A and B are shown apart, each in its own frame.
Chain A
Amino acid sequence: MANSQQPVCGPCGTKGLCGGKGLLTLKDGAWASNPLAIQMLGICSALAVTNRLENSLVMGGALIFVCVGSNVLVSLLRKVTPHRIRMIAEVGIIATFVILFDQFLKAYYWEMSKQLGPYVGLIITNCIIMGRAEAFALQNPPILSIVDGIANGLGYAVVLAIIGFFRELLGSGQIFGRTVLSDQWYTSNQIMILAPGAFFALGIVIAIFNAVKGPEPEENK
């Protein structure tokens, strides 16, 4: 689902202070319009893979890779892609990069591939990537699209890592599979590992983002 197109300098507010366009793009993607916490895109995978920090980081990496790759390719082809078939072209490009990553994971990190299960494939239907290709890469040159891909991927990865960190810590008292909170005095809270914990964690993270960022100037549904 392509989100509504944003003005390049809209959410920044103080227009005079924005430096180069690249820097602005970076800031916009990673913070001001963070794909996960502000735009609510790509929630599925954010909930599913964050029961362990390690999984979250791999998923974040995957998204950065696919987002940068597809952004560059869409941007390079933007002048030769007929407007009518651009959607299917974008899906094809995105799927290619996802397949690359999936095959790489299967070849070198079989265990991780097993744990992530279908969620690697589901990156294709992750609205962040499609949204960026549609809203940004189609109108901008490749270099800027790389920055945009990194920014949005990073914005997603950071939120994923935060959620993964707290869920693993509270749910099993571990970080990266090593016990941090000893079970002698910490009773692990299983609910954080299970499905409801994911919903609670993401809800709270979004609420914190909202609180820090202040009230939205305009309501976009």
Chain B
Amino acid sequence: MSETSAWVIFIAAIFTNNILLTNFLGMCSFIACSGQIRTSIGLGTAVTFVLTITTAINYAVYYGILISAEEAAELGRAAPLISTDLTHLQFIVFIAVIAAFVQLVEMFVERFSPRLYFALGIFLPLITVNCAIFGASLFMIIREYSFIQSVGFGLGAGIGWAVAIVLLAGLRQKMRYSNIPEPFQGVPIAMVVTGVLAMAFMGFAGMVSIQ
């Protein structure tokens, strides 16, 4: 278990280790939904929310059920409910947790806040297939975060993703007026712009570091 404080991980996940610009996760919806700032803010909010909570749930599932008793003892954690090693099932369990949670949120939002449902509703199904959500859970396991660290990481990763997509949406809105060579129009130029964005974010390196 690393000793870094959750606050440092939170800042690092937004700036120096941005899940999109350094780990390339969530590119599909990033490219597809960055046409307008308003849409990207909606999607960014939904991703941040789902990412934070699913990371926490997956943490509980992994260390409460999937991990083997010996490994838990080795890491100095409480004994899991099932002592058999089930870690090879982590992919499928994580995906199921994310899908179920998104479905649940959709039902709740639809029932209790129709206004929010219309604002976020269309993004929710998209999120199930967003690899940033799934990837964050995997990173959390690989980097052996504690629970507080995982929540900090999940929140930071979500906000970092939202910041990146809103920035790109702003840039793409401006780009409509520029004269782009034909083959580069559309996705290729978005890629190149994202590259420049990633380069700008590299300027934050050294501020904080994790791993």
Contacts and interface: CB of A to CB of B under 8 A. Distances in A.
B65 interface: no
A194 to B, nearest CB: 7
Interface centre among B24, B90, B92, B190 (most CB of A within 10 A): B24
Nearest to A123: B91
Q: How large is the interface on A (under 10, 10 to 19, 20 to 34, 35 or more residues)?
A: 35 or more
Contact of A47 (B24, B134, B187, B188): B24
A12 interface: no
Contact of A95 (B24, B29, B91, B187): B91
- The secondary-structure label for the interface of chain B is helix
Interface string A174-211: 00000000000000000100111111101110111011
Given A118-B138, A127-B129, A195-B21, A43 B28 contact: yes
Nearest to B125: A1
Given A88-B99, A102-B91, A40 B192 contact: no
B16 to A, nearest CB: 11
Given A118-B142, A199-B191, A44 B184 contact: no
Contacts of B191: 199-200, 202-203, 206
- The secondary-structure label for the interface of chain A is helix
Contacts of A195: 21-22, 24, 195, 198, 202
Contacts of B194: 199
Interface of A: 1, 40-45, 47-48, 88, 91-92, 95-96, 98-99, 102-103, 117-118, 121-122, 124-127, 130, 191, 194-200, 202-204, 206-208, 210-211, 215, 221
Interface of B: 21-29, 31-32, 88-92, 95, 99, 126, 129-131, 134-135, 138-139, 142, 181-184, 187-192, 194-196, 198-199, 202
